[in-house]
Amino acid sequence: MCMVCRMSPCHPRCPNAPDPPAAFHCHDCGEPIYPGDEYARVDGVEYCEGCIDNYPLCVLIPLLGGEWKTVQEGESIKCAGCDEELPVGTEYGIVDGSILCEECIDEIPYCDLVTRMNWDWNTASEEDIYDGYDG
């Protein structure tokens, strides 16, 4: 019997209770994704919300299957979001076939950006915890 919560096994809120089982582990940082945590599933692997939020756009957009480019001399590129002409040297992303400047991409919540690029944004649940049964 636990000396803190006086239960056996410990109450989940007891400081002596073991960590709950993880549903997944983040492909990038390796941290557990617990039931109730939001995560992205991209190309069959899970990424925690923190990693997705912290990726620079030049990494995130290609990870999601888009393109990240820079306006070159002689190109005339217009953002589909704000309808502004992008000056030479400006970086932009191609998201779901649309050209978007960094400012317009930043306005899209990452959960919407992930799903817009045809990947999954989910909340882990108890059912996601692997129980050893494959049938």
Q: Which residues pair with 120 in a beta bridge?
A: 41
Q: How many residues does the chain have?
A: 135
Query: Quick one: pLDDT at residue 53?
Result: 93
**pLDDT (tens digit per residue) in 70-122:** 999 999 999 999 999 999 999 999 999 999 999 999 999 999 999 999 999 99
In the predicted structure, residue 128 carries a pLDDT above the cut 70: yes
* Residue the block writes with tokens 């070159």: 72
How many DSSP H helices and E strands does the chain contain?
4, 10
Q: What is the pTM of this model?
A: 0.80
Cβ atoms < 10 Å from Cβ of 80 = 15
Which pLDDT band, with edges at 50, 70 and 90, does 134 fall under? low
